[in-house]
A and B are shown apart, each in its own frame.
Chain A
Amino acid sequence: MIDMMEQITRIAGVNPRKCMRCGKCSGACPAYDEMEYHPHQFVSMVENGRIDELMRSKGIYTCLSCFACVERCPRSVEPAKLIEAVRCAVERQQGMDRLRPEAVPGLLNPDLPQQAITSAFRKYRK
């Protein structure tokens, strides 16, 4: 069976070993303070197989998917894709959806665009 680290890099389709630890991703990240493992650390933890810790981290939900890290990375490591892959690995477990349809009515307000709900489902439910 392929291990978790291999699964993550396959889902992400990027190679964390290309990272040279320049920290440019973290420098650009608007969620830096909200992620206990900052983007460059996240990449290095994937590389070192520390997937369990990442799967338990709140950073997989506070990453804003803004692609600033992807834009900045000189080595095309694309940290956002590794973060998404770990979130997928969590949410693809039975019963681990972050957002359930029953919860939606309580979150709505008259001005909220459909896009907010659609995107939340895409992000928080697999």
Chain B
Amino acid sequence: MMKFSYFPGCTLKTRGAALDRCGRAAAEALGFALEELPEWQCCGAVYPNARDEIATRLSSVRALMAARDAGTELVTLCSACHHVIKRVNGDIRRDEDIRAKVNNYLKPEAPYAGEAEALHYLEVLRDRVGFDAVKQKVAAPLAGMKIGAYYGCLLLRPSKELAFDDPENPSVMEDLIRALGAEPVVYAMRNECCGGYVTIENPDYAKKQAQRIVDNAKALGAECLITACPLCMYNLRANTDGSLPVYYFTELLAKALGVDGEEAKQA
């Protein structure tokens, strides 16, 4: 069985529990194991843009090192964790100054030089499992559902660093939607920012951004949206008129695979 180290992140243990629960149940059904890192720390939710910040990069490095030492790739489900951890890994690989300072602080037995690979769960589905294999495991196809994939910012940009998908015309979630037997709705705002970061300090501004996305997806025929980000999820629900249901992509995945994730919740 394929094995991965798994970094759930702060929100998946609490408000975003459905993203985690369904993701684990689906992994089991698809035949890969997510082994939660024994001692992970919150990634900080925001990539430290300032090049002179070292402390804010350490939790990502610790997680990456643990995955390296376990000999596995490091998988995340949350867009923000994925964004932060993958970019910090890139910093360690490319930026000698950051690498030296981080190693000087952590003093690991084996210095960390970016050996681990950070993957988003969607990349595992696409590149390790394959959508054909996903399709074969679908027990309850989502026939007739018109689903808009909402990518937002963090999964895609900057594409040079994240190398996740085409930043202007992504397809991984549309391919997933097809594999689940539903119909993807391509709409213009799927890779535009929902304004999630300003929801605390400027909710009116966040509302404006989020509503534009919902309106555009509806106009193109979407009946619901899927996302991989708990902050987008909140923003698209709480800061809009609520006219489009929003789900985590793992919720629909688990549903189509016939595993609703309830067992995982009790475990």
Contacts and interface: CB of A to CB of B under 8 A. Distances in A.
Nearest to A92: B50
B193 A123 contact: no
Contacts, number: 123
A64 B230 CA distance: 17
A112 B209 CA distance: 17
A84 interface: yes
A12 B50 contact: yes
Contact of B157 (A30, A67, A81): A67
A40 B9 CA distance: 35
Interface stretch (B21-29, B107-115, B196-204, B251-259): B196-204
A3 interface: no
Interface residues of A, number: 38
Nearest to A14: B51
21 contacts: A10-B51, A13-B51, A64-B193, A64-B195, A68-B157, A71-B157, A78-B158, A85-B49, A111-B237, A111-B238, A113-B11, A113-B15, A113-B231, A113-B233, A114-B10, A114-B14, A115-B11, A116-B234, A118-B45, A118-B46, A123-B46
Give the dominant DSSP class at B's interface. Answer: loop
Given A81-B49, A85-B49, A88-B50, A123 B197 contact: yes
Interface string B171-209: 000000000000000000000110111111110010001
B39 interface: no
Contacts of B192: 30, 66, 68
Interface string A65-77: 1111011000000
B49 A84 contact: yes
Contact of A71 (B46, B50, B167): B167
Interface string B201-225: 1100100010000000000000000
A66 to B, nearest CB: 4
Given A34-B205, A71-B167, 15 more contacts: A10-B52, A11-B52, A61-B202, A62-B198, A64-B198, A64-B209, A68-B193, A78-B158, A88-B50, A112-B15, A112-B238, A113-B14, A115-B9, A116-B199, A122-B56
A112 B51 contact: no
Contact of B46 (A61, A68, A98, A122): A122
Interface of A: 10-13, 30, 34, 61-62, 64-68, 70-71, 78, 80-81, 84-85, 88, 98-99, 107, 109, 111-120, 122-124
Contacts of A99: 200-201
A116 B49 contact: no
Contacts of A80: 49
Given A64-B209, A123-B46, A124-B201, A115 B230 contact: yes
A119 B47 CA distance: 9
A115 B198 CA distance: 12
A120 B201 contact: yes
Interface of B: 9-11, 14-16, 42, 44-46, 48-52, 56, 78, 80, 95, 153, 156-159, 167, 192-193, 195-202, 205, 209, 230-231, 233-234, 237-238
A89 to B, nearest CB: 10
A46 B97 CA distance: 24
B197 A64 contact: yes
B156 to A, nearest CB: 8
Contact of A66 (B193, B233, B238): B193
Given A12-B49, A88-B50, A116-B200, A68 B153 contact: yes
Contacts of B14: 113-114
A80 B161 CA distance: 15
